[in-house]
Structure 1
Amino acid sequence: MEAITKTAEETADNELAITRILNAPIELVWEVWTDPKHIAQWWGPIGFFTTIQHMEIKEGGEWDLVMHGPDGVEYKNKNIFSKVIKPELIVFKHVTPPIFTATITFKKQDAKTELTMKMVFESATDYSLAINKHGAKEGQKQTIARLKDYVENI
């Protein structure tokens, strides 16, 4: 059965959300989201690679990473986790502009996992910066597609 997909789309004036069904158990999907050695293999749009500098998955924990673009530009990112419920929920605030809060939910569906990622931007300016300058709509789709490919093939 083909995965049910909602494309990255605004759910409000400042939100971007995507849902995918992954052909992998929830425990494995959780692991590839929370283990730096795994997340570095799929995080970011096609053509990017990611260096995880620090990742502490707990409430108040920090996640520092650098996304390396195909054009050689480096994008430093800092996130702070505000809620972590294994294996159901991760919430973090992206504190490097553009500012947003990401909510990732994991729902068990037999041997598969329904994953939803929602990004809520703090302002219309941050939303516009993410969409227009950083290509967040397409970037979110590609990142989750890379996750799907990775988790279904490890």
Structure 2
Amino acid sequence: MEAARQETRAESATGDREIVISRLIDAPRELVFEAFTEVRHLSRWWGPEGFTTTTRFFEFREGGEWYFVLHGPDGTDYSGWIRWLRIAPPERIALLHGESRDDPNAFESVLTFTPDGAATRIVMRTVFPTKELRDEAVEKYHAVEGGRQTLSNLAAYVTEIVRKGAEG
């Protein structure tokens, strides 16, 4: 019971700085986790609708980094950088995400992958350094909708892999 109370306090302490997005994906947890941890998959679904991703460098391990460019539908390029902080296959990934390694506004995300029957529930909990940075991400960069679209792209991608596997 004490652990539950501590978790509630921790969540309320960051509540005004966080975004939580969840999605049920009709695919096994191991496949959803793999799609999030192998560059051959990530580059095919990462980003909101209409965006494409070019990976410059990718090393999936604790302390490893992923440098990429998101190409917007209007032709704008957005630099991206992720450092993998903690990895617990196939359950959890913690990462630091910014525009570059020295981005003072980088934010931390924790992704959890939980089995739900034959499906997987992915929860992406992102905590920004300040409430203002969270608000800017929501208002200027449409972070909530972009996050939902990104998880929707992931769901479509792994569902297609499952469908092709069933056919093959």
Which residue of structure 2 lines up, in the alignment, with residue 94 of structure 1?
A: 97
Deviation at 1:53, TM superposition (A): 1.4
Percent of aligned pairs sharing the same letter:
40
Q: Distance in 2 between matches of 1:123 and 1:55?
A: 28
Q: Distance in 2 between matches of 1:35 and 1:92?
A: 15
- Equivalences for residues 113-132 of structure 1 within 5 A: 113-132=120-139
Q: Could you tell me which of 148, 151, 158 is aligned with 1:151?
A: 158
For the Cα contact (< 8 Å) 2:84–2:96, is it kept in 1?
yes
Structure 1 length normalisation: TM-score?
0.88
Q: Could you tell me which of 33, 41, 45 is aligned with 1:42?
A: 45
More helix by share: 2
Q: Distance in 2 between matches of 1:92 and 1:153?
A: 26
CA RMSD for the aligned pairs?
1.4
Q: Is there any run of 5+ residues in structure 1 with no aligned partner, and where?
A: 1-10
Which residue of structure 2 lines up, in the alignment, with residue 138 of structure 1?
A: 145
For the Cα contact (< 8 Å) 1:99–1:126, is it kept in 2?
no
Cα deviation per residue 1:36-88 (whole Å; 9 max; x = unaligned)?
11111111110100111122121111111110001111000111111001111
Which protein shows a greater Rg?
A: 2
Q: Distance in 2 between matches of 1:135 and 1:108?
A: 29
Which residue of structure 2 lines up, in the alignment, with residue 4 of structure 1?
A: none
Q: Distance in 2 between matches of 1:110 and 1:141?
A: 22
Structure 2 length normalisation: TM-score?
0.81
More strand by share: 1
Does structure 1 residue 83 correspond to structure 2 residue 90? no
For the Cα contact (< 8 Å) 1:78–1:95, is it kept in 2?
yes
- Number of aligned residue pairs: 144
For the Cα contact (< 8 Å) 1:63–1:79, is it kept in 2?
yes
